[in-house]
């Protein structure tokens, strides 16, 4: 017997038939002897519609009202799922964020969970009931509904799993697990049985879209075992667990790519102390996240600075730099949004040298120029021209021995 929190995303509860399937799946788990609670998203498309209405009425709308409006999406699904479970003879009730309560801070639209009062949910799970909890939302210190922002429902599920001391948090989605890379690009991509939190975290922030960074970080912090699996099949998915649980460590577990980056190069900046702060300070002030940074010292006492930002942030970054540049005497700014970031990730890197070198050699053999390099303890990322994305990912997948037999 295990205690499990199951989370179903928008496509898994997109209509009444799918809601019935979700109910049947939760019921089967309970009948197999598990204690079950379910976290649900809004039906596919609903959150976007509600958010679009808020936006149409006022582009700079009050985040507190936005939260009150969009949080209704999950409330509808939770109630409907409880009804579907009851219809199958299962004791169930829905819990809205404020009812549990799931307490968050007061940052409306991107609130963070602070505490979940789970005693009543645990009591009911122990009785064999299946509580259904709304994802993506909570109640703030102002006694108003808050939403958690992007990746919110996954985060709700992981936080709830921690609060009820669940053995596992199953995230049901429209893919059946975490792959060595995107199967749409590499036909020989393999589904991983297990992956370490830190690898998943690096893959998620490097562009793999299966789980949001935030929920992985929370799972790692709270040591919640997370399983990613398909709501449309009945197969085991991928377990995201502590590194110690993975006996057979791969040198490289996965290859991620992201085309959501843009490169900015500032040439011939005077090379003096404080110049980096003078450039990156104003970018941070405008909420622009800078990812990879490279600085090259030139011969004439100037330096070239290259860095990447999210593609959507490019206009804001350019505006900020246009203000800054005259003051610091930089000569030339160029931008390129036809770039891609390719990352190889694996905890095995910690103990093995040569991972980065394999990457550089493989790309060189295919004639792919590396524009920027950045590394972490378990990741190597390079920026290349976007047109080489698929070629690079396939070549690396083969080079690291990840291809399925």
83 binds its own copies (CB under 8 A): yes
Site string for its own copies, 11-40 (x = CB under 8 A): -----x--xx--------------------
Alpha-carbon span 310 to 259, nearest angstrom: 9
Please report whether residue 66 would count as binding its own copies according to CB under 8 A: yes
- From 111, 86, 85, select the one nearest 98 (Cα to Cα): 111
Here's the x/- map for its own copies, 124-163, by CB under 8 A: it reads as -------------------xxx------------------
CB of 336 to its own copies, least distance (A): 38
Q: What are phi and psi of 289, to 5 degrees?
A: -85, 125
Rounded to a whole number of angstroms, the minimum distance from the CB of residue 212 to its own copies is 25
Q: How many residues does the chain have?
A: 405
Q: Would you say 136 or 257 has its CB closer to its own copies?
A: 136
As measured in angstroms, the least distance from the Cβ of 76 to its own copies is 5
The single-letter DSSP state of residue 142 is: T
Angle at which helix 355-365 crosses helix 389-399, to 10 degrees, equals: 130
Of the residues 39, 84, 186, 321, which one makes contact with its own copies according to CB under 8 A = 84
Residue 78 engages its own copies in binding (rule: CB under 8 A):
yes
> Going by C-beta distance under 8 Å and a sequence separation of 6 or more, which residues neighbour residue 247?
none
Contact predicate 385/335, CB 8 Å: no
Of 16 and 32, which has the nearer Cβ to its own copies? 16
76: tokens are 């509808």
Stretch that binds its own copies, among 96-104, 297-305, 314-322, 330-338 (CB under 8 A): 96-104
Query: If binding means CB under 8 A, how many residues of this protein chain bind its own copies?
Result: 35
Q: Print the binding letters for residues 247-276 with its own copies: x by CB under 8 A, - otherwise.
A: ------------------------------
User: Residue 389 CA to chain centroid, in angstroms?
Assistant: 21
Does 167 bind its own copies (CB under 8 A)? Our answer is: no
Q: Quick check: helix, strand or coil at residue 227?
A: strand
Phi and psi at residue 305, to the nearest 5°: -120, 125
297 binds its own copies (CB under 8 A): no
Q: What does each C-alpha distance from 200 to 95, 161, 242, 274 come to in angstroms?
A: 30, 18, 11, 35
Candidate residues 64, 190, 249, 259; the one interacting with its own copies per rule CB under 8 A: 64
Q: How far is the CB of 74 from its own copies (least distance, A)?
A: 9
Residue 93 in the binding site for its own copies (CB under 8 A): yes
Smallest separation (angstroms) from its own copies to the CB of 165: 24
- Considering the complex, state which of residue 84 and residue 162 has its C-beta at the smaller distance from its own copies: 84
Cβ 378 to its own copies shortest distance, Å? 43
Name which position in 31, 62, 245, 338 contacts its own copies (CB under 8 A): 62
Query: DSSP for 69-137?
Result: HHTHHHHHHHHHHHHHHHHTT--EEEE-TTTTTEEE-S-TTS--EEEE--HHHHHHHHTT-EEEEESSE
120 binds its own copies (CB under 8 A): no
CA dihedral 373, 376, 378, 382 (to 10 degrees): -10
Query: What residues pair up with 255 in beta bridges, in sequence order?
Result: 344
Q: Is 110 in the site for its own copies (CB under 8 A)?
A: no
Which residues in 124-219 belong to E strands, given as ranges?
130-134, 137-139, 145-147, 168-173, 194-196
Q: Is 171 in the site for its own copies (CB under 8 A)?
A: no
Please name which of 163, 161, 151 lies closest in space to residue 227, comparing C-alpha atoms.
161
**Binding status of residue 80 toward its own copies by CB under 8 A:** yes
Contact residues toward its own copies (CB under 8 A) are: 16, 19-20, 50, 53-54, 56-58, 61-62, 64-66, 68-69, 72, 75-76, 78-80, 82-84, 86-87, 93-94, 96, 98-99, 143-145
């Amino acid at each position: 017997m295990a205690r499990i929190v199951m989370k179903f995303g928008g496509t898994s509860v997109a209509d009444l038939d799918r809601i019935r399937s979700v109910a049947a799946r939760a019921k089967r788990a309970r009948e197999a002897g598990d204690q079950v609670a379910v976290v649900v998203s809004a039906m596919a498309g609903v959150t976007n519609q509600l958010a679009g209405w808020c936006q149409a009425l006022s582009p700079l709308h009050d985040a507190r009202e936005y939260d009150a409006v969009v949080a209704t999406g999950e409330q509808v699904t939770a109630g409907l799922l409880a009804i579907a479970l009851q219809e199958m003879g299962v004791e169930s009730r829905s819990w809205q964020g404020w009812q549990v309560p799931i307490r968050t801070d007061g940052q409306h639209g991107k609130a963070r969970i602070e505490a979940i009062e789970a005693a009543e949910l645990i009591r009911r799970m122990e009785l064999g009931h299946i509580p259904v909890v709304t994802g993506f939302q909570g109640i703030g210190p102002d006694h108003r509904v808050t939403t958690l922002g992007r990746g919110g429902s996954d985060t709700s599920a992981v936080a709830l799993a921690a609060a009820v001391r669940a053995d596992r948090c199953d995230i049901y989605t429209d893919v059946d697990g975490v792959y060595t890379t995107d199967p749409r690009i590499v036909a020989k991509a393999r589904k991983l049985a297990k992956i370490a939190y830190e690898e998943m975290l690096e893959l998620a922030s490097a562009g793999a879209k299966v789980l949001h960074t935030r929920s992985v970080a929370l799972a790692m912090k709270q040591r919640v075992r997370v399983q990613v699996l398909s709501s449309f099949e009945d197969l085991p998915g991928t377990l995201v667990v502590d590194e110690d649980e993975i006996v057979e460590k791969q040198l490289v577990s996965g290859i991620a790519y992201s085309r959501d980056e843009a490169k900015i190069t500032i040439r011939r900046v005077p090379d003096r102390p404080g110049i980096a702060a003078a450039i990156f300070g104003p970018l941070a002030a405008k909420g622009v996240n800078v990812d990879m940074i490279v600085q090259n010292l030139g011969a004439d006492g100037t330096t070239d600075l290259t860095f990447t930002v999210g593609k959507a942030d490019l206009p804001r970054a350019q505006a900020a730099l246009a203000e800054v540049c005259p003051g610091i005497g930089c000569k030339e700014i160029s931008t390129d949004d036809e770039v891609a970031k390719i990352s190889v990730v694996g905890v095995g890197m910690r103990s093995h040298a040569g991972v980065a070198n394999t990457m550089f050699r493989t790309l060189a053999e295919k004639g792919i120029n590396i524009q920027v390099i950045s590394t972490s303890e378990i990741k190597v990322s390079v920026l290349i021209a976007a047109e080489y994305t698929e070629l690079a990912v396939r070549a690396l997948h083969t080079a690291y021995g990840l291809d399925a037999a």
